[in-house]
Amino acid sequence: MSLTLGKGPLAGRPGGAFNFSLDGAPPHRIYFEAFPARLRGLVGDTVVVDTQGARLLHETAIKPVAYVPLADVDSSLLTRTDTSTHCPFKGDASYWSLTVGDRVVEDALWAYEEPLPEADWLRGYGAFYWDKLDTWLVEDEPVAALRDPYHRVDVRPGSRPVVVRAAGEVVARSARPLMLFETGLPPRVYVPRDDVAERVLQPAERRTHCPYKGDATYWSVRADGRLLQDAAWSYEEPFDESARIAGHVSFDGEDVEVELG
């Protein structure tokens, strides 16, 4: 998605047109830019990093990674480990574990202490495995995942008729769909829950999190005597930018057909 995934301009196969040639350009592209917000990471109640100087590293086919000035990391919590990895585009990475009280978080931080010349701007910066810290704050808001500033979600009301079939049976019909357009993904059709046939949706256990829309609740779909697992989803309390899809359901999966007129 965005700059480096899918058809983005830094992806392996960009989907648009340029006014210059990519002939001779490296197939793996890297872009390092400022992240203007305050960023904090915590283990338990202990602040591990607190910075206003973070930067985002965008790499072809990789989601953006936040790099922080090593000077803004609490070095008293760090212990260098023997772990080392090599990146042909950035160099050799060194690793550090975190010790917070009795808790040790192995290889939580990495840095390119002597980066390759073409990535020398990484000198003095390091990155944490996002899920190895307990809490991340952007300004004062807890965030479950890092957002890509080039990724966006637009929800537009539509009037094209929608018919949803599951296992050949019509399970939803609507003339008031919402169209959700998300960077790098195919458009999604959301229909009001009132336009779904009764007793079709059965609660499923699956849950996923989207940093741009919120927490998704999944539904199995009962049709033609079958139960199609996780064939629909909804966002019961979507983020503000996707608030319109509250009370709506989207369908996809094997034996599911969404017909948009």
Q: Do 136 and 204 fall within a single domain?
A: no
DSSP code for 196: B
Q: Do 211 and 160 fall within a single domain?
A: yes
Domain boundary among 142, 163, 183: 142
Q: Do 133 and 158 fall within a single domain?
A: no
CATH of the domain at 40: 2.170.150.40
The pLDDT score that the predictor gives to residue 203 is 96
Q: Do 57 and 90 fall within a single domain?
A: yes
Residue 123: how many CB atoms within 10 A of its CB? 13
pLDDT in tens, 121-152: 999 999 999 999 999 999 999 998 888 888 88
Whether residue 87 has pLDDT greater than 90: yes
Residues 221-235 have a mean pLDDT of 96
pLDDT in tens, 150-180: 888 999 999 999 999 999 999 999 999 999 9
Position 24 in a domain: no
What domain range is 193 assigned to? 153-260
User: How many whole angstroms separate alpha carbon 112 and alpha carbon 135?
Assistant: 24
Position 81 in a domain: yes
Position 216 in a domain: yes
The pLDDT score that the predictor gives to residue 209 is 93
Say whether 151 sits in a helix, a strand or coil.
Answer: coil
Q: Do 112 and 61 fall within a single domain?
A: yes
Number of domains forming the structure of the chain: 2
Domain boundary among 96, 121, 142: 142
pLDDT in tens, 101-120: 999 999 999 999 999 999 99
Domain boundary among 109, 142, 175: 142
Q: Do 174 and 199 fall within a single domain?
A: yes
Q: Do 37 and 123 fall within a single domain?
A: yes
Position 9 in a domain: no
For residue 57, the cross-strand partners are 32, 65
User: How many whole angstroms separate alpha carbon 192 and alpha carbon 175?
Assistant: 10
